[in-house]
Every structure is written in C-alpha cells, then in structure tokens.
Structure 1
Amino acid sequence: MDPSLIIPGRVEPTTDRSGLRMIQLNHSKGQAQICLQGAQVIEFTPANQPPVLWLSNNSRFETGKAIRGGIPICWPWFGDHPTDPTLPAHGFARNSAWTVLASQADDHSTNLTLGLEDNESTRALWPFGFKLELNVRLSQALTLTLTTHNSNRTDIQVSEALHSYFAIDDIHHTQISGLEGSRYQDKLRHGMPVNQQGAVRIRAETDRVYLNHESPLTIDDPGNRRRIEIQKQRSRTTVIWNPWQAKSAAMTDMTDDGYARMLCVESANALDNTLQIPPGGTHSLTTRLESIPYKEPNRNSNEAP
C-alpha cells in the first residue's frame, strides 16, 4: 500500500496470521477489514453491536484460496463458467491481488477504493481487457460499489455478485422479507421456476436465484435483537444460499454447525440478468448494509420489540 494513502487511525495496513495483506478501516460508528486478495471485506462491525458479516472458523487464509465468509466478489462470471466447468467457480476476481487506489476519511465516513486490471493471468482465463474498481464506504452502514470498465473494442458479457455472508444468531429463527411475490429459479431443482410465498425462511439446503428483483431486503435476526437492511442499486438479481447440515459438514472450510450461524443474501446480476457492457462502457453495482437494533419495548406496555 502506498504510504501516502495511509490515514492513521482510519485507514491502516495490517496482515492476518498467515501473512495475507489486509486494510483496517475505522470510523466512530464502526470498523471494517478488507483483504487485498480478492478485495474481500471480511469484517463489518458497527459500534456496540455484534459483527454483521459471518466468517467461518475454518476459513483458509492462503494465497490463491477463497476465503469462506465476508463478501467475496464473484466476477466476471457467477457460479460455474457457462461453457467451461474447468475454470474457477465464480470467476477470478475473488482470488486475485488487488491494488489500493485511493483513501479518504472525514466525519461522515471512511472510504477505500481498490482496483484490478487485466493481466497475463486473467487473460488466460478470460480474454478481455477490463478495469475493475471496488469502493468501500464505512459509516453507520457499509456501502460497496463494484464498477466494471470495458476497455475492449467489442461488447463484453459479465455476471457478478457481492456474495455477502451475514452473521445470524440462529438460522431456524431468521427470516428475509422483501422477496414476497418474486419469482426464483431453484438451483437444487434444476432451475425450476417458483413464486415466493411470504417471507423467506430457511428449513433445508437452499440455493435460489431471484431474477428481476431490485427492491430492498430485510433480514430479521431476533437472537441478536436486530434487523439487517440491504439496499441495492443496478442489481437485478438476488441470490439466497445456505448449505444446511450435510453440505456444511462436508466442506473443509466450514464447521459442522456453521450453516446455523450464516445466511448468504447476495446482490447480483446473473443468469437472465447477465450484463452486456459496450466498448468503453461502465457498469456499477452497489449494495448498502445496515444493522438496526430492535427498539426496547415500552415498560408500560405489553408490546413486543
């Protein structure tokens, strides 16, 4: 990190126990940590609250290995590559080394911008020129903006996701509102289309892709006495994922009961919402995450929080 971009007490470089380079962001209303491998936010903790993001106790902090938790960046494809399943799942951005481009801090927020450009390694996987930027804004909320610049003379197709892992107290008592009436593809049932009835409650392995969905979402997390509000812009896909018991136990980078403490709600553009970006064009996907504690009940009433 360029020393001129360090802001003491607000934007500071650090390393994790395995030596991966990190950036620590601080603000009076919270803190966040970003791994330069993958530009992956691995922590967002508002002041006087529990962490908003989940990070597996078995996460591998190794060069070139995906970190299980936080907010991995899936780009330039989401899931398996559409024509070559031998290529890395979810693209290469999440395992690439990013560069710190800018930093800024004032009373309102702490900001960090990271960048990734095409190089010999990326062109071996995806033969296109690009510039990718991630802006991270920390205040009482965490706001991420992922911007794709097409530096080719032809259109490029990009699918993408900010693959957010949320920390919850207990999956059995958690629900997601804001998807009522939306149509999703159930990836566990060969993409069968289904209409969402009521709030989303997870009771088994879940892998759903809600298309043409742009509305705000709320995760109700009663065990932590809070709701997590998710707003997004220029994202037309929402993905809900939880591996449940058997798959969690089979994954080496998750604990056997890890599924019960996490929930992925992803802001994305995927499948039918894949992007077509013209030469010289740009596209920015934004997600904003805020944890809002339940109000304490009025002692003179019988109302629940």
Structure 2
Amino acid sequence: METAAHLHVHQLSRTVQRTTGPAQLSVLLIENEQARCMVYLQGAHVASFTPNGQADLLFMSPYSTYEKGKPFRGGIPICFPWFGKHPKRDDLFLHGLVRTKAWELREAIDIADGSTKLVLSTEDDEYTRSIWPHRFSLQLTITVAASLRLEMQVTNTDEQPFSFEEAFHTYFRIGSLQDCSITGLDGCTVVDRSDGNREYSQDGSVVVGGEFVRIFEQAGPVVALHDPVLGRSIRMEQENLKQVFVWNPGDEKAKQNPEVLDAWKDFLCVEQVNSGKAAVVLEKGRTHQSTLVVSSLPYAI
C-alpha cells in the first residue's frame, strides 16, 4: 500500500485521507483499528485491503499502467454495463464503461464499531450514452473493517428498461497458483472458455494449475479461496450475483500481456458476476443491489 509521505494530503475524517497517487490520480487511504485500504477515485477501484496483522488480500500488478482514462491491472475493478468484450466493438475496453470514469466521493464516515464507510457514485454522461444509450446512476458503498464489504447499486434513470452485466473482478494475491484450491462451487455448471465453451458439472474443489478461464453458473452464496502457502482462506460472500468467474492467463498468455508477464503466478481472479443469461433486466426507476464481502481466515479446508 502506498504511503502518503511527500504527497498533498487532505484529512476527510479520522480514518480517511485523500491524496494523490501515480499520474496525480486521486486516492483515498483508509486506516482504522481493523484494517487498511486504498481506493482510487478513477473506477472506484479498491487497490489494497490489509486486515490488521495480515498481508494484503489483493494483488496489483507491478506492470500496471496508471493513467487517467485507462484501466488498472489488479485490485477490484468494477465492471458495468458489460463483462468481458463489448458484444459488437473490439475497440472498446474490456468490462464496460465505469472503471475508467472519475467517480465522486459522497461520504466518508467513521462508524462507532471502528469501521469506515465510503460512498462513491457516478452516472451516465454524453460519452457513455454514445456507446451505451441509457441513463443510469451507480453508487458503491465500501465498508472497511476486519472484512471488506462492497455494495453496488445500479439505478435505471432512463425512460425505458435496460439490461446490463456487472462484476466485482477481484484479483487475489496468492502464494502459489498450483497449491491453491477453491471450495463452494461443487455441482455448478461450468463453461470452459479456454476449451471451446465446453460445459460440465464441477465435482469437488476447483484446482488451478495454469491457464484457467471458466465461469461457474448458479454459484452459491459463499466461495472460499484456500492458500496453504500464505496460510489463509479467503472467504467471499455474495448477494444477487449468480456466477463466479475464475481466471488466470497462465504462462504463455501472460507473456503476451505487458501488464502481467511473470506476475501470473502471484494472483488468481475469483470474480462475482452477472453476465450472459444471468444479465440483469432493470425497469425504469428501479434499483438493483449486489454485494460482496471479503474476509480472511486461517488456512483450512
């Protein structure tokens, strides 16, 4: 996590500072009795979450670019209104419009239980409507405690219904890709995107040894990433998110990505998603909320 030393700092609350990071990007630094966290206002992008006495749960690529209007590699990108490639245009960034937008900080609140709450928001503008012709507002509430809680609200401010995809595209820091396993996905229908969208039923724990591009349909409310090397099990609780996407590019694909390269061994994406047939249809004036809670426990299977 970056320090605020030698940077211009504005204290927003007892536990929240606003400062600048690489390329003069606005950054929120949260440090309370339970954890530390770092959030870029561009994309409302959580880049670091470190519970007290533990190592950072999140991975940011050492090769990531930090530029205004370009997505970061790592942390928790917010995906909306599409997940993956745009259905018609290859020239657009993956995963939607909002991870490169400057979000606004609405609230920074110190809670009596020692946690910290941030509320950030963004909405449609002329540029977004030129690509996705709908009016919307997004609000992301981030609660930093011993666990990290993300609540995203999508409101349809248009005059007609619209359909959208969404995801918390989380990059977790791991000790060894070959030694990690994921539980909570047993019995899910799996679509293997690296094998011609082959479908099968998951049997037991998920083990990732190299390139892995698979989506797990109708996932349950709790998934865990077990890491014996770092000695922890990361628990993910999800609400109103029907899919889990597990991704690592593997060695060969990573060599082709200048923001990954040899760092592929150090992360695993376990993402909470609504996409494809799980896309959300939202009526005029209605709000959809999805929630992800991330916590770290001692290693156990």
Asked if Structure 1 and Structure 2 have the same fold, meaning a TM-score greater than 0.5 normalized by the shorter chain, the answer is yes
Q: Which residue is 1:246 aligned to? A: 252
Q: CA RMSD in A?
A: 1.6
Q: State the Cα deviation string for residues 62-85 of structure 1 (Å, max 9, x = none).
A: 111111000001110001122333
2:215 maps to 1:224: no
Q: Which residue is 2:298 aligned to? A: 293
Question: Mapping of 1:24-35 within 5 angstroms?
Answer: 24-35=29-40
Give the letter aligned to residue 229 of structure 1: R
CA distance in 1, matches of 2:272, 2:295: 14
Q: Which residue is 1:263 aligned to? A: 268
2:205 maps to 1:237: no
Q: State the Cα deviation string for residues 170-209 of structure 1 (Å, max 9, x = none).
A: 1011000000111111111222212112111112211111
CA distance in 2, matches of 1:81, 1:190: 19
TM-score (norm 2): 0.93
Query: Secondary structure in 1 aligned to 2:255?
Result: helix
Aligned partner of 1:95 among 91, 100, 108: 100
- Which sections of structure 2, spanning at least 5 residues, go unmatched? 1-8
Q: Which residue is 1:273 aligned to? A: 278
**Matched-pair identity in %:** 32
CA distance in 2, matches of 1:190, 1:35: 36
Q: Which residue is 1:187 aligned to? A: 193
CA shift for structure 1 position 126: 0.8
Give the letter aligned to residue 58 of structure 2: L
Verify the 8 A CA contact 1:118 1:131 in the aligned structure 2.
Answer: yes
Q: State the Cα deviation string for residues 82-134 of structure 1 (Å, max 9, x = none).
A: 23333322111111110001121123210001000111111111111000011
Q: Which residue is 1:284 aligned to? A: 289
Q: Which residue is 2:6 aligned to? A: none
CA distance in 1, matches of 2:204, 2:242: 20
Q: Which residue is 1:119 aligned to? A: 125
Give the letter aligned to residue 263 of structure 1: L
Give the letter aligned to residue 74 of structure 1: C
2:157 maps to 1:151: yes
Question: Mapping of 1:24-63 within 5 angstroms?
Answer: 24-63=29-68
Q: Which residue is 1:65 aligned to? A: 70
TM-score (norm 1): 0.92
Query: Secondary structure in 1 aligned to 2:152?
Result: strand
CA distance in 2, matches of 1:181, 1:117: 38
Query: Secondary structure in 2 aligned to 1:121?
Result: helix
Verify the 8 A CA contact 1:21 1:35 in the aligned structure 2.
Answer: yes
CA distance in 2, matches of 1:161, 1:44: 18
CA distance in 1, matches of 2:11, 2:163: 33
Query: Secondary structure in 2 aligned to 1:61?
Result: coil
CA distance in 2, matches of 1:218, 1:276: 29
CA distance in 2, matches of 1:4, 1:64: 23
Q: Which residue is 1:136 aligned to? A: 142
Q: Which residue is 1:299 aligned to? A: none
- Which sections of structure 1, spanning at least 5 residues, go unmatched? 296-304
CA distance in 1, matches of 2:117, 2:187: 36
Verify the 8 A CA contact 1:81 1:89 in the aligned structure 2.
Answer: yes
Q: State the Cα deviation string for residues 232-260 of structure 1 (Å, max 9, x = none).
A: 0000111100011111122111232x111
Verify the 8 A CA contact 2:120 2:139 in the aligned structure 1.
Answer: yes
CA distance in 2, matches of 1:255, 1:293: 30
Query: Secondary structure in 1 aligned to 2:194?
Result: helix
Q: Which residue is 1:163 aligned to? A: 169
